[in-house]
Amino acid sequence: MIKVFIIDDALLVRVTIRKILSSCSEIQIIGEAENPVDAFEIFKKVGLPDVFILDIEMPKMDGLTFLKKLKDQKPVPTIICSTLVTTGSSKAIESLRLGACDIILKPQIGLHNSIEDITDEFITKIKAAAKSKTILPTNNKNIAHVQQRSLKQTNKIIGIGASTGGVQTLEKIFINLLPNHSPIIVVQHMPAGFTASFANSLNVICKNSKVKEAKENDVLLHGQILIAPGDKHIEVVQDGLLRYKVILKDYPKVSSHKPSVDVLFTSLAKVVKQNTVAFILTGMGRDGANGIKKVKDIGGKTYGQNEKTCVVYGMPKVAFDIGGVSRELALDEIANTINSI
């Protein structure tokens, strides 16, 4: 049984989340509070949960301050439940750096279809969070800029897929890339609107890369990292001799996700073929497994993050088990592998 505690100042939101989670017999809500200060008093009676569902903007204490206190005392997997606004999205990204596992959009009160649409997502993310390891805060120390060299251009294209725990994992990789690295396309499972904030935050701390949310017909360039938008599939197409660009597609979820890692990897296997280098990182589920197997079968290089350094060893495990991963890497090895391409 997964014990969940809800902290949100909106009563209707708490009631809606309770309704959503009541459909899953594996989840038990042990308490709720409208702010973290009141929550601390309730913990004395019911104990700490396995997973928190946490708002960011609340009276008495905001969600970011609560996460800092939680990190210092006893880290508990936390899912941020946030509205889609510009300032909120940037704070949600900051919460992931402080140790939160994932982000989910607040349910739209009064819309029955909205509740039905997000029930599976809520339950899946709670189960993933419950299985996750403690996430240490990201150290944004960039060591790559110390190295006085840049890489020669190659015709390799790098695809990366990640889910739960991916924000901190990707940051730790990207801050250590050397200038002129191969073009990188990322599918990080994240709600629409938050991917732009994530890309912007990466662009600030990654001194040797230009990071942006992907737009239709963006050309793949050395030293650039494109983040797939949170509500579109991303594919690679050829744009002239040895030149590639991305296109965005608005069709239903693939492998239960949109954007889907499988979609990205499948397009790379079809178009870039043996010049593809694919990495599948931390995350729950099997998205990316079939796609990375196609990359390997066409002659591309495939890597999976190893169990020891994954927040959730789900996606890489499935990919490894079906024979899609040629080699598993520790988190600290991934940047060096990219730099050596």
Which of 163, 197, 201, 209 is catalytic? The answer is 163
**Amino acid at position 172, single letter:** K
pLDDT over 60 (residue 138): no
Mark whether 163 is an active-site residue: yes
| pLDDT value at residue 85 | 58
pLDDT over 90 (residue 197): yes
pLDDT band at 112 (very low <50, low <70, confident <90, very high): low
Bridge-based pairing state of the strands 244-249 and 276-280: unpaired
| pLDDT value at residue 146 | 43
| pLDDT value at residue 144 | 46
| pLDDT value at residue 151 | 73
Give the model confidence (pLDDT) of 228-277 as tens digits. 999 999 999 999 877 999 999 999 999 999 999 999 999 999 999 999 99
Phi, psi of 117 (to 5 degrees): -65, -35
Domain residue extents for the chain: 2-131, 144-339
Q: Is 265 helix (H, G, I), strand (E, B) or coil?
A: helix
| pTM across the whole model | 0.91
Q: What is the CATH number of domain 2-131?
A: 3.40.50.2300
The residue behind tokens 């890339």 is 177
Q: Across residues 323-341, what is the average pLDDT?
A: 97
pLDDT band at 89 (very low <50, low <70, confident <90, very high): confident
Neighbours of 22 (CB within 10 A): 11
Q: Match domain 144-339 to its CATH number in 3.50.50.60, 3.40.50.300, 3.40.50.180, 3.40.50.12280.
A: 3.40.50.180
| pLDDT value at residue 241 | 78
pLDDT band at 136 (very low <50, low <70, confident <90, very high): low
Sign of CA dihedral 68, 69, 75, 79: negative
Which of 8, 181, 189, 209 is catalytic? The answer is 189
The residue behind tokens 């309770």 is 18
Q: Across residues 194-205, what is the average pLDDT?
A: 95
Q: Do domains 2-131 and 144-339 have the same CATH topology?
A: yes
Mark whether 189 is an active-site residue: yes
Q: Across residues 2-23, what is the average pLDDT?
A: 94
| pLDDT value at residue 153 | 78
Mark whether 150 is an active-site residue: no
Comparing 115-124, 204-213, 221-230, the range with the smallest average pLDDT is: 115-124
> Which parts of the chain are beta strand (E)?
2-7, 27-33, 51-54, 78-82, 102-105, 157-162, 184-188, 210-213, 224-227, 233-238, 244-249, 276-280, 301-305, 327-329
Comparing 86-100, 209-223, 264-278, the range with the smallest average pLDDT is: 86-100
